Chain A
Amino acid sequence: EPEVTQTPSHQVTQMGQEVILRCVPISNHLYFYWYRQILGQKVEFLVSFYNNEISEKSEIFDDQFSVERPDGSNFTLKIRSTKLEDSAMYFCASSLPRTAFFGQGTRLTVV
């Protein structure tokens, strides 16, 4: 069964450092997303991506965040200068109209 794959599963980084979270969406899907879940809280939308551009972003997705699809298969989320409050589980998702499949998540810890 096709699945969304995320790497790494865990990342620890120092405050102020840049991190890149990677995702391989399901191959025939066209829409991709990033969500985050701060520990114990609900899942929050960050950004959606279609046809090599951002289609929607939330107020959380400020200038320190960026996304790209560098090679037609990978889909990345970059956080330029991490803050303590960026510590969360980050989920990549890819979608058809009646489904939205999530990757297993990357747990980011900023110290």
Chain B
Amino acid sequence: AQKITQTQPGMFVQEKEAVTLDCTYDTSDPSYGLFWYKQPSSGEMIFLIYQGSYDQQNATEGRYSLNFQKARKSANLVISASQLGDSAMYFCAMREGNAGGTSYGKLTFGQGTILTVHP
């Protein structure tokens, strides 16, 4: 079974609008962390945001926020006020056993969503 599922192969958004990229995960570990990365066409992996399973609040970093719904096992990335430079592949990833900061385990990635921002 897939541990991380990103069901949207591609998404389109108009510049200055908000967009939500979906991510669902599967784990039996109560302690885990969820990461989002941006991969532009140049290929590098840029860390965007992190959410721990025991965090009381949804994570936010500038225009990025994470809509964390633990019971549904979803961790959707919300990008507000989209910019042309947001066009990229976006990956969701999970590290199990990390919510308490006690694990440095591997990241398991989803398949990614290609986001295209239209002017």
Contacts and interface: CB of A to CB of B under 8 A. Distances in A.
A102 B47 contact: yes
A95 B105 CA distance: 9
A35 B108 CA distance: 10
A37 B37 CA distance: 14
Contact of B104 (A50, A102, A104, A105): A50
Nearest to A105: B43
A102 B44 contact: yes
A82 interface: no
B35 interface: yes
Contacts of A43: 45, 91, 93, 107, 109
Interface stretch (B13-21, B22-30, B64-72, B94-102): B94-102
B111 A105 contact: no
A96 B93 CA distance: 15
Contact of A97 (B98, B108, B109): B98
Contacts of B52: 98
Given A42-B91, A42-B110, A98-B52, A104 B43 contact: yes
Contacts of A93: 45, 107
Interface string B40-53: 00111111001010
Interface residues of A, number: 28
A75 interface: no
Nearest to A91: B45
Contact of A100 (B102, B107, B110, B111): B107
Interface of B: 33, 35, 37, 42-47, 50, 52, 91, 93, 95, 98, 101-112
20 contacts: A31-B104, A33-B107, A42-B91, A42-B110, A43-B107, A45-B106, A45-B107, A45-B108, A48-B104, A48-B105, A56-B106, A93-B107, A95-B104, A98-B52, A100-B107, A102-B44, A104-B42, A104-B43, A104-B44, A105-B43
